[in-house]
Amino acid sequence: MTEAIVFLAAAVIVVPIAARLKLGSVLGYLLAGAAIGPWGLALIGDVSHTLHLAELGVVLMLFVIGLELDPARLAGMRREVFGGGSLQLAACGAVLVGALLAFGLPWQAALVAGLALALSSTATAVQTMVERNELATPTGRTAFAILLFQDIAAIPLIALVPLLAAGGAAPGEAGWERFALAFAAVAGVVVIGRYLTRPAMRLVARTGVRELFTAFALLLVVGIAQLMTAAGLSMALGAFLAGVLLAGSEYRHALESDIEPFKGLLLGLFFIAVGMTIDFGLVASRPGLVLALVAGFLAVKAAALWAVARALGVTARQRVLFAILLAQGGEFAFVVFASARGAGLLAREWEALLTLAVALSMALTPLVLLAHDRWLCRRAEGARAADAIDEEAPVIIAGFGRFGQIVGRLLFANGVRAVVLDHDPDQIEMLRRFGYKVFYGDATRLDLLRAAGADRARLLVDAIDDVDASLALVDRARASFPGLPILARARNVSHYFELRLRGVTVIERETFESALRAGRAALEALGVDAFRAREMADAFRRHNLATLEATLPHYQDETRMLNAVKAGREELERLFAKDRERFERERARGGEEWR
């Protein structure tokens, strides 16, 4: 309990300060760990035990990510996972192995350590991309595919250590047994995820006890992680595979909502544990060597990542970000270094130095990203001053897909310059060549809206394709820029109603006008006079809009009613659960007479 209080207090105190300073939660957790660890206040003793427990945070994170992918989408990523992942590992590994050989390490130690350093931190990179809304972008998808391959590649890398320590000799039978065990574990995860989990969840859900469903969700993830560990495979990889197999399940959202709080806490605990592993005594005793090692490691790996980014399809403007996201060392490196030292491949001093380099590289990643963002902001500010966007670009267009493009081209053709917010790097490169002012990123981010001049713009065109993101943009723009008029695109009638309930008055449904023109053409083809066909279409438009406006209050009432029904159903389930518990207690007390 004392250690739990220490962990929670450190997180609650340090992370909000880091967030206020815009350093990110990852660096906040790392600083909290450094503060309470052996080289700080020494409030926690067994760091390795904490690190092993906290690895469950990485496992839960990959399970939740897997729930967002179905097997078809994962199959579509196989080129990025295996092609891009193997290219990244080979390129970074070759450079790092060469650098370690130059430092005088034996080739066996250099090979193991170099490949381990080529792995990146799944926890750091994914959490950072989630916080920055980068995971769904092309660069984010490429980075995640590489991280997934690294989780796969870490297993043979760990198995390589005893082989090199034994001089390359390994009994063939043992290798086949390990392969068969790994194959059986993966097959077991597939069978559990596809055929056993849904019926089991259905039975648990029928009990009406919500906490039992949460317990089952945790049992599922931890059980699969333990199964993969017993087979010598990655816990995180097994959890990810289980999540993918459940991505199409009707229980997906319930699983995600139940797992999310535990994932966040354990992932924070993982970063705290990494912060506690930073050996500040070694830093103090050999600062020059440590600084040179960390700086050299990050620079060499980032350069290799930047070089392979083009082959992986990362656009020129995103290659620096891609390199920063994956330049740090990974959590598997701790396991590989410890195993190599135990097998006699790495000297204790080198293990301590390399472990420290990996931990510090994780801590430096948020700071390097912050410097990268500041650099981009200065470039954006300079470009904005040069282009005088306040006067020349009074319109902000959020989303430049098939809908936003037409709006932007019409404005551009008539001398009205617009600022475009989009997260497709290829689209951005094309727009810049045509003279558009473009900001890369998620249009719902307030810092991006401010950088685009939302506080001075005369109009915001919400042309985002995703309905949830579109509504989120309206909510944030209304809250932060109440005087900014909004013209919105609606994908369907429900989207139209949600926009109207948020006070948006100028709304265009993306297919309505084109369908109306097709209807006019159909009337003319049937012999109706062109002027009469136009009048009929205009009358239909007026009637349709009037019907929508008349339906709006009922839609609002229906939404309230559905929310009330949901709340009532949850209350009934709670009451039924209490009645069932009382029934079971009375039956147990009553014996034969009660029956």
3-state secondary structure of 488: strand
Neighbours of 168 (CB within 10 A): 8
Q: Is 341 left (phi over 0), alpha (psi -120 to 50) or beta?
A: alpha
* Alpha-carbon span 269 to 275, nearest angstrom: 10
pLDDT value of position 172: 47
Rounded to 10°, the helix 25-36/2-20 angle is 140
CA nearest to 38, candidates 356, 357, 361, 367: 356
- Closest listed residue to residue 111, CA positions, set 361, 294, 345: 345
Q: What is the DSSP letter of 487?
A: E
At residue 487, the pLDDT reads: 93
In sequence order, what E strands does 249-301 have?
none
CATH of 2-377, one of 1.20.1280.290, 3.40.50.300, 3.30.60.50, 1.20.1530.20: 1.20.1530.20
Q: What is the location of CATH 3.40.50.720 in the chain? A: 388-510
d(CA 208, CA 21): 44
List the structure tokens of 564.
Answer: 């009330």
Q: Which of 389, 412, 391, 387 is nearest to 400 (CA)?
A: 412
CA–CA distance, 463 with 418 (Å, rounded to integer): 13
Instruction: State residue 522's pLDDT score.
Output: 93
* pLDDT tens-place values along the chain, 595 residues long: 787 788 888 888 888 888 777 677 777 888 888 888 777 777 776 777 777 777 777 788 778 777 767 677 777 777 888 888 889 999 999 999 998 898 888 888 889 889 999 999 888 888 888 777 777 777 888 888 898 888 778 767 877 777 776 554 444 445 566 667 777 888 888 888 778 887 888 788 777 777 787 888 888 888 888 887 777 666 777 777 788 777 777 677 777 777 877 877 887 888 888 888 777 888 888 888 888 888 999 999 999 999 888 888 887 778 888 999 999 888 778 878 877 887 788 888 888 888 888 888 888 888 888 888 777 666 655 544 444 334 455 889 998 888 888 888 888 888 787 888 887 656 666 676 666 677 767 788 777 788 778 888 889 999 988 888 899 899 989 988 888 999 999 988 888 888 888 888 888 888 888 899 999 999 999 999 988 999 999 999 889 888 888 888 877 776 666 666 666 677 777 777 777 767 766 666 665 554 5
The terminus-to-terminus CA distance of the chain in angstroms comes to: 44
Distances (CA, A) of 203 to 199, 208, 213, 551, 570: 6, 10, 10, 40, 18
Question: CB–CB of 274/30 below 8 Å?
Answer: yes
Cα 177 versus chain centre, distance: 36
Return the CATH architecture of domain 388-510: 3-Layer(aba) Sandwich (3.40)
Can you state the percent helix, strand and coil of the chain, rounding each to 5? 75, 5, 20
H or E segment to which residue 438 belongs: strand 437-440
Dist CA 50 CA 52 (whole Å): 6
DSSP 522-580: HHHHTT--HHHHHHHHHHHHHHHHHHHHHHHHHHHHHHHHHHHHHHHHHHHHHHHHHHH
DSSP H helices, 37-137, are 47-67, 71-76, 78, 85-102, 107-118, 122-131
The pLDDT, as a whole number, for residue 474 is 92
C-alpha triplet 395, 438, 134: angle, nearest 5°: 115
Q: Range(s) for CATH 1.20.1530.20 in the chain?
A: 2-377
